[in-house]
Chains A and B, each alone.
Chain A
């Protein structure tokens, strides 16, 4: 299928004189690995014709820490600190998915309070991650102050996480079978207060950035990933929803206790620009913050005192077999494919299916025909974390 962006090499300029022949060739340019717009250590080799990107090739591996191989030498509990380091902006969701993988294999029953608190932390982490995405995206496009406002509010979430888990970024909080620590009532009250503040703050962000004319001009109709491309490449999360498909694992394949909750799945509607462009991907994230607040409020209503740790064997050995568990993380569908052998304390193989990797692979598809400045906007809008791409 020929996408309208897929123009291959740009046309040579037509010359007035027959004798005058200008030589035209593509200029190879490296964006990254230390480029601020690549959100980490991603190197993108761009072939440009003046301002137009003719071709973009992402080069991966600068943050490769062979996490999958490491996991094969660690006991099942010891993998959690490594799983944290995949998507370091949404560690809670990473831990949660990994814990679900092992629990499915063990057949552990997680107590209700632990499940609810997992949803609470997962959704708070989603807000924190989307705030980071919002702040850095505005920063990419040249607006500095939204970044500071977003970090101020992200800090409140991190402070709560630091109080319950002990760390700000790499928590090791969600354990196999439950949680490490319980939340106190005082902390839960603060979560409620935070939700109220965040709702007000989100309105401010909407006025400040979403509807700003400069921002709209930079993002609307830019970097269009249409629904067919998204399905072909296997995109998920805000990228897929920004392209107009209502697909959220929390709704479509509910895990944990998500089927008890009432929330919407925001999709890109094309109210500004068109479906699948940078603006729609961005607005899906901002709307998801609102939905997460909705879920957190419901969690706070449902919470009752109870145990937070299920029964797990002290020396953990899984039955032989394999399992594939996926969950909706802030950046899309994260999945773990675990192969275990009987009477072994370590995973035989732990494959990570990362959403960011899929989204990075879509860059060469959307890049041709864009201006370099628009390409920066596109890279920012898919919101990749290189820890997860390279693993």
Chain B
């Protein structure tokens, strides 16, 4: 645009013209090769789904049967999107064990994660002592209202995911 090309001779004029045509054709040839020589890389999404890697961090899932209400995840969370409420077990109750042998000494009353706030950084899953809080591979959970993005992991319908989701 602002480059002013001064052609001092006819020879230079034609050299410049040839350069323009040859480089353009070269580029067009590279692009044209894609018609048959290169396979498409895109995926037709709803029909064909990409297999996610093992460590992919999608929606959080808490297996509340193994949760000991230690609140370490809530403290590690940089955006404070995990809400935990628990109380002491009444005396004389049988103390259950988690799958890796830790005793559950508190009664978990609420375990809610606001996935609209969650930044999927994975810090909460790394501090979990019983490894009950994990990232699932579920990434399709759009909702109509922002309240629907809050998942209460003690609700029966979400507990039922356990068999489906837990890795």
Q: Compute how far the CA of A166 lies from the CA of B167 in the bound complex, rounded to whole angstroms.
A: 15
Tell me the count of chain A residues lying within 8 A, CB to CB, of chain B. 41
Measured CB to CB, the closest approach of chain B to A375, in angstroms, equals 10
Cβ of A198 within 8 Å of any chain B Cβ, yes or no, is no
Measured CB to CB, the closest approach of chain A to B11, in angstroms, equals 17
From B1, B19, B41, B55, give the contact of A374 (CB < 8 A): B1
List chain B residues, Cβ under 8 A from A370: 2
List chain B residues, Cβ under 8 A from A81: 78, 119, 121, 123
Among the 9-residue stretches A209-217, A233-241, A323-331, A347-355, the one with 4 or more Cβ atoms under 8 Å from chain B is: A209-217
Q: Is B55 a contact partner of A164 (Cβ separation < 8 A)? A: yes
Residue of B nearest to A373 (CB): B1
Q: How large is the interface on B (under 10, 10 to 19, 20 to 34, 35 or more residues)?
A: 20 to 34
Would you list which residues of chain B between 1 and 33 have a CB under 8 Å from chain A?
A: 1-3, 19-20, 23-24, 26-27, 30-31
Q: Compute how far the CA of A371 lies from the CA of B31 in the bound complex, rounded to whole angstroms.
A: 30
Which of A163, A166, A222 has the most chain B CB atoms closer than 10 A to its own CB? A166
Given contacts A81-B78, A82-B78, A207-B30, contact A166 B2 (CB under 8 A): no
List chain A residues, Cβ under 8 A from B120: 167, 170
Q: Is B19 a contact partner of A172 (Cβ separation < 8 A)? A: no
List chain A residues, Cβ under 8 A from B34: 145
Q: Is B55 a contact partner of A172 (Cβ separation < 8 A)? A: no
B71-86 Cβ-contact flags toward A at 8 Å (1 or 0): 0000011100000000
Q: Compute how far the CA of A84 lies from the CA of B76 in the bound complex, rounded to whole angstroms.
A: 17
Interface residues of A (CB under 8 A from B): 74-75, 77-82, 84, 145, 152, 155, 159, 162-167, 170, 172, 180-181, 204, 207-209, 211-214, 217-218, 220-222, 273, 370-371, 373-374
Q: Can you name 20 A-B pairs with beta carbons within 8 Å?
A: A74-B78, A78-B78, A82-B78, A84-B121, A145-B34, A155-B41, A159-B53, A167-B56, A167-B57, A170-B119, A172-B121, A180-B126, A207-B26, A208-B31, A212-B24, A212-B26, A213-B20, A222-B3, A373-B1, A374-B1
Interface residues of B (CB under 8 A from A): 1-3, 19-20, 23-24, 26-27, 30-31, 34, 41, 52-57, 76-78, 119-123, 126, 135
